[in-house]
Structure 1
Amino acid sequence: MLLYNSFNDVNFRLLSRFILKFLPNIFIKGKVVRKIKGFYYVLDENSKNLNEENIYECKLRGMLKVKNDKMNCIIGDSVEFDEKEKVIEKVEKRQNFLYRPLIANIDFIGVLFAIKSPDFDFTNFQKMLLNANSQNIPVVLILSKIDLASQEELEEFLNKFKKIFKDVISIFPISTETKTGLSELKKYINKKSVVISGPSGAGKSTLINTLIGEEVLTTNNISGKTRKGRHTTIESRFFMTAPRSYLIDTPGFSTLNFPKLKNKKELEKLFPEFLEFIPNCKFRDCIHVNEPNCAIKENVENGNISRERYDFYLYSLENIKFLKYT
């Protein structure tokens, strides 16, 4: 009997391979949600959740590979893969990508900063804004822990923020403790791919757990000595809040680098409030420092551009290591 069963098992496996060989290959559209060495983990785009049964471990078709190029296929890419062979056959054209961490096809970055504990860092926020603008990725501010501030303190912060950034950036004040602002944020991120990024200790993991509705990430408290958070995310991770609604968690940071720019004129393009006034400068190569008849400086003086943003522009100009001098 044992010999008979073993014979049948062998025959069944051989028959299965024979049938599969002649079945047509089925291509499925999906999204790369993780990458480990040479393997890409692809979520079927029609999936209603991010369960393991909806994720396929795939390799990249050889013809799509450029040697030693990490941009061949990255997290967030929309792809077509062969369900039978578990091979990615096509990588769709990207609408954008964030270089660090490497993530493609982002609708916007939800920059998460706490109003308190740790205190809001305007310099780091503006560095993050520069990096996002350099990749043409929209940014919204998610202002967390507003339950730690009084109503007067919150209004004072919002007024200061709007004075500095005008109407360039949307802001969502939230509290995961009191659930304030979460329903508005959920509506805003629906059917979008959203990167959640921010400094350690701002409550990123808590927010993602709350939006997903389950404990998927560990959380850490603020360090008593430094008043900074401890890093709890060490790699970018994909989550779903609803079908085709993705949250991407990224590692926290304490400080940020400036984006890499070729020359000083590239910097002005990363300040959206400058753009309408730049053509009015007298000199085409004006970098808005000491040049006469500079439209940017004139609009700082008359209040159309905030002094704080102009000061950060000058700070960036001094600290960015440009690839070319001009």
Structure 2
Amino acid sequence: MRILRAVGALLLLLFLLLAPKPLLRALSDDPMARLFEPEQPDWYGVIEVWHIASFKPFQGSGTKFLREQCQRFQKRHPGVHIEVIGLTPDMFAARIARGAFPDAYSFPAGLLYRERLSAMEPVSLPPLLGNLRAAEADGLLYAVPYLASGNFLLVNEQLAQQIWTEDTEDAWEGVSVAMLQSWLDAGQLCVPPIWGAQLGLVGESRAFSDFLAGKISAAVADARAYGDITRSDSGNLAVRAIPLAGYTDETMYFGAAAGTDATRLALIRELAVFLLSDEVQKTVSTLGALPVRRYIENVAYASDSLSLWQEQNTDALLAPEPFAFERHKDALLQDAERALRGETGAEAAFSERLAVVLNGEN
């Protein structure tokens, strides 16, 4: 009996030493234990996103917002980690010059040309505000818009009587081009050149710093600047904001960087769709920015002014095609400045170039 046991033990030892490892794993597998094991990710990896914005306060809050959305997204994809890095355009240019590249970009319209981006499989986008559209070329999708910042007429309530001769409360109901022109003539208005030129205004704009210092009565500025004023601790400025329908080039896009591998590209495309989802778009207003979807229910707007802007720009928003804007933005600004100064032929040149930028023509 002892001999048989010794032979059996020897044979078992030889089997354990010589048997293929997959066979041993299969024999030791416990089906019940497998039910409680976490599912193994299909892919482990890091996706690096550069969020580029020139408006410094917005660059910080925008980075934080995008990072939070990416964290929500990566919970749906075990093994995937998304790193969001906030950069100014100068910081972005310096990194590119050193040969560094991300996997994806969050960028303002007009910053990147198509060669910096990877084409993605087309996606069915929800209806967007006004003429807002994805960044496309030759039938290929390169980036999608996911937030915007519209324009407001900001009026210093303490100085309002200097520019309104009629009853002030009635004047809040609307803003006419003639009204803006009269304020410009009186040296009481700051207006961005492109926005002013597309209305046909002519005159010398004051600096936005003059408005912040309480030296002039009114300024046209975007939602982010208005948000900074309302959050300021100085308390020196009592401002009322009137939403303005029409042109804005303050739009942020999201897309994959050129050279991104297929696995990351598929995830970035899915993330782009996620940024346009109801659950993300409903929270964009917390930045002082604005969602880009035409129809959203139960949006938590940070202020009544933002809600009213969204309502007014559902159909009226005019945003440049991002690739055309990148090609023409410097010349467009120069044409706008000349038109605002009233130079001969400048208004026609500006209108022609603006049409190119809005329509996306070469």
TM superposition score category, shorter chain reference: under 0.3
TM-score (norm 1): 0.25
Larger radius of gyration: 2
From the two aligned structures, give the one with the greater strand fraction.
1
When you count helix as a share of all residues, which structure comes out higher? 2
Give the alignment's TM-score, normalised by structure 2: 0.23
